[in-house]
Amino acid sequence: MVITKEKLEKDLHIEGSYKITVKLKTKKIDLRLDPDDASIEETISLANKFLDNFEYYEKKAMDIIIRDFLDNYNENWADDEDGFSQLDEQGFRNNLELNTINFLSKDSIDIFYNENGMFGNHSLIAQSFDGENFDDSTMYG
């Protein structure tokens, strides 16, 4: 799918931003585009570049989440009595579910994952500040 300005809806919750729902990996995913200090065309270009290479970028995003949170989960959150056993990389990856992707300005991307209760139902967010590499992550919620 190619995103165009005509396909976008205004996001009434965030002034100056837009939204669209697309199908990725057989699931409907919400995309939010917030041009901030860029033009909407530049933000659309970033979103289309990402979508054209979705598998590549999503793997990079998941890899940073796993790098930053797998050990934390196993050391601090895993509890067999509560049904949350320690996980290897694949088991952890299998618990991540893509939820929302935010495209900010012309080069920032936030990918939100549901984490299947591993961290008390917080969102895990992979972040790219150059539109290419996912070098940072955070937990929200």
DSSP for residue 110: E
Distance CA 76, CA 82 (A): 13
- To the question of pTM greater than 0.85 for the whole model, the response is yes
- 3 in a structural domain: no
Name which of 107, 106, 97, 112 is nearest 128 in CA terms: 107
1: pLDDT confidence band, cut at 50, 70 and 90? confident
**Per-residue pLDDT, 82:** 79
- 123 in a structural domain: yes
The two tokens of residue 137 are: 């992550």
Name which of 113, 112, 120, 114 is nearest 73 in CA terms: 120
> Among 13-17, 32-36, 50-54, where is mean pLDDT lowest?
13-17
- 36 in a structural domain: yes
Question: Would you call 119 helix, strand, or coil by DSSP?
Answer: coil
Residues 6+ apart with CB under 8 A from 11: 17, 18, 19, 32, 34
- 88 in a structural domain: no
- 128 in a structural domain: yes
Name which of 54, 51, 72, 46 is nearest 124 in CA terms: 72
- Alpha carbon dihedral 15, 17, 23, 24, in 10-degree steps, equals -110
Q: Write down how long the chain is.
A: 141
- 21 in a structural domain: no
Q: What is the pLDDT of residues 73-103, one digit of tens each?
A: 999 999 888 778 999 999 999 999 999 999 9
Indicate the residue type of 96.
L
Distance CA 58, CA 67 (A): 14
- 14 in a structural domain: no
Name which of 46, 67, 68 is nearest 57 in CA terms: 46
Number of domains in the chain: 1
Full residue range of the structural domain in which residue 103 is found: 28-77+93-140
